[in-house]
Structure formats: structure tokens, C-alpha cells
């Protein structure tokens, strides 16, 4: 669902998350790995929300204080599972969402300024060549040392897109990441799937993206 949609002129900038928005659902991939590794997925989720050691480890990774080589054994110890290939296993079922990627590409081709605003699990897993095609700017938490939902992430996104925050749309799959963007005057979209998000983007940006559900050739 979009918010901030009724304030007149089309928005000029699109800020968008990576994992779970321009890719398939991250939590579905995590769940599949947990099933394979006999890890209680619900317990894992609870610990990331409430266990301070889990939280500290995640925040340190996402802000670049530690890298994957330090995060992986730390997480494995907390889960009591082997560390080798842990992150690869968690991410194994994540795939690009071609419809959403094509929508961003189409928006940019029609003059919309675009920027990635992403909390990172390491900084080396991103498709940088693709990013050069579809984004005017990048804000990756592990590179800038802050993470969503810090308001500065969204301000930087707007700055690197070259558009004032109040003229931007922000898209994320996690509702709590939308509130700081809305507070800056951005229209926000809670992403669940491309079929829901693309029509909202068309309305907010004033561009046609309805051909973006076909994979590019």
C-alpha cells in the first residue's frame, strides 16, 4: 500500500531497497535454509528481535564494522551450526525479481532519478554492473556506516538521486523502514510483490511501467 500519494505533481525520484524488493523474498530463503539445517526458523526470528548478542552482530555487519568472515562464525556459534557456507545457505534461494528491476529501468529511462537504499549483509554480493544501468546513486549501509531506519539513509538516497526528499518515492518490504522516509515527506510503498507495487509506482511517478512485467531481452 502506498502512502503520501495525494499531494499533487508526480514524484521525480525513486528510492528503493534491494533484498526482498528487487529480489525474491529473503525470509522465504532463510526459512528454506533453516528447514534444511534443522534450525527453528521462528526461534531464529525471535532471537534477532530480542537477543542482544544477535542484534549486535547483525548491526555490526550491516554498518560495516565487521565483514562476512567475522559475522558468519559469530552467527554460527549463536545458532550452534557449522559456519562454513552459512550466509550462502541463507541466501541460496534469493533470485532477482526481473519485473521490479525492469520497472526501475523503465522509470529511469523516462527521466525518474533513481537510488538504491539498502541494508547490506556484506558489500560484495551486489550486482554492481546492473546497478550502473538502473541507478543514479547508491546508499549501501556497509559502505556509509549507518543503517535503516536511520533518517540519514533516506536523506543520502535523495541526495545521491539528485532529488529533494519530498519529491521522492521510497519502496521497502519492511514496514518499519518506511516511517522515516514518510517523515521526510516521501511517498512510501510497502512492497509485497511486483503486481501490487508497479501500478502504485506508475501513479506516484506519472510514468508507464506496465510493460516492465516482461523480462528484458
Question: How open is the CA angle 70-74-76, to the nearest 5 degrees?
Answer: 120
pLDDT over 60 (residue 217): no
Confidence (pTM):
0.90
pLDDT over 80 (residue 14): yes
CB 129 within 8 A of CB 147: no
Is residue 211 very low, low, confident or very high in pLDDT (cuts 50, 70, 90)? low
pLDDT over 60 (residue 216): no
Distance (Å, whole) CA 210 – CA 110:
13
Give the length of the chain.
217
List the chain domain ranges: 2-24+96-205, 26-90
Determine the pLDDT at residue 215: 39
The per-residue pLDDT for range 21-75, each reduced to its tens digit, is 999 999 999 999 999 888 888 888 888 888 898 899 999 999 999 999 999 999 8
The per-residue pLDDT for range 106-163, each reduced to its tens digit, is 999 999 999 999 999 988 889 999 999 999 999 999 999 999 999 999 999 999 999 9
For 215, which DSSP code?
P
Determine the pLDDT at residue 214: 39
CB 93 within 8 A of CB 17: no
Lowest model confidence (mean pLDDT) among 2-11, 143-152, 182-191: 2-11
Count CB-CB contacts under 10 A for residue 73.
Answer: 14
Q: Is the dihedral of CA 160, 161, 163, 167 positive or negative?
A: negative
Q: Which fold has domain 2-24+96-205?
A: Rossmann fold (3.40.50)
Is residue 3 very low, low, confident or very high in pLDDT (cuts 50, 70, 90)? low
Determine the pLDDT at residue 4: 59
The per-residue pLDDT for range 85-105, each reduced to its tens digit, is 889 999 999 999 999 999 999
| Rounded-to-5 percentages of helix, strand, coil across the chain | 50, 10, 40
pLDDT over 90 (residue 7): no
Residues 6+ apart with CB under 8 A from 202: 208, 209, 210
From the list 185, 186, 194, 191, the residue with the least C-alpha distance to 171 is 191
Looking at every residue in the chain, the average pLDDT score rounds to 91
Determine the pLDDT at residue 46: 84
Determine the pLDDT at residue 93: 92
Is residue 213 very low, low, confident or very high in pLDDT (cuts 50, 70, 90)? very low
Determine the pLDDT at residue 47: 82
Amino acid at each position: 500500500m502506498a502512502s503520501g500519494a495525494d499531494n499533487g505533481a508526480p514524484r521525480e525520484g525513486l528510492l528503493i531497497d534491494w533484498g526482498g524488493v528487487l529480489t525474491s523474498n529473503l525470509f522465504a530463503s532463510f526459512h528454506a535454509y533453516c528447514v534444511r539445517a534443522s534450525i527453528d526458523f521462528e526461534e531464529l526470528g525471535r532471537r534477532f528481535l530480542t537477543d542482544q548478542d544477535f542484534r549486535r552482530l547483525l548491526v555490526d555487519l550491516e554498518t560495516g564494522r565487521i565483514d562476512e568472515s567475522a559475522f558468519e562464525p559469530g552467527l554460527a556459534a549463536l545458532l550452534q551450526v557449522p559456519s562454513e557456507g552459512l550466509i550462502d545457505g541463507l541466501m541460496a534461494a534469493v533470485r532477482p525479481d526481473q519485473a521490479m528491476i525492469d520497472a526501475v529501468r523503465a522509470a529511469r529511462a523516462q527521466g525518474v532519478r533513481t537510488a538504491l537504499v539498502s541494508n547490506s549483509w556484506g558489500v560484495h554480493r551486489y550486482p554492481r554492473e546492473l546497478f550502473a544501468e538502473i541507478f543514479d546513486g547508491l546508499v549501501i549501509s556497509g559502505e556509509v556506516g549507518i543503517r535503516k531506519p536511520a533518517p540519514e539513509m533516506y536523506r543520502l538516497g535523495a541526495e545521491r538521486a539528485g532529488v529533494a526528499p519530498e519529491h521522492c518515492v521510497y519502496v521497502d518490504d519492511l514496514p518499519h523502514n518506511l516511517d522515516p522516509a514518510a517523515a521526510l515527506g516521501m511517498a512510501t510503498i510497502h512492497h509485497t510483490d511486483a503486481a501490487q507495487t508497479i501500478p502504485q509506482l506508475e501513479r506516484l511517478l506519472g510514468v508507464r511501467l506496465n510493460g516492465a512485467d516482461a523480462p528484458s531481452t
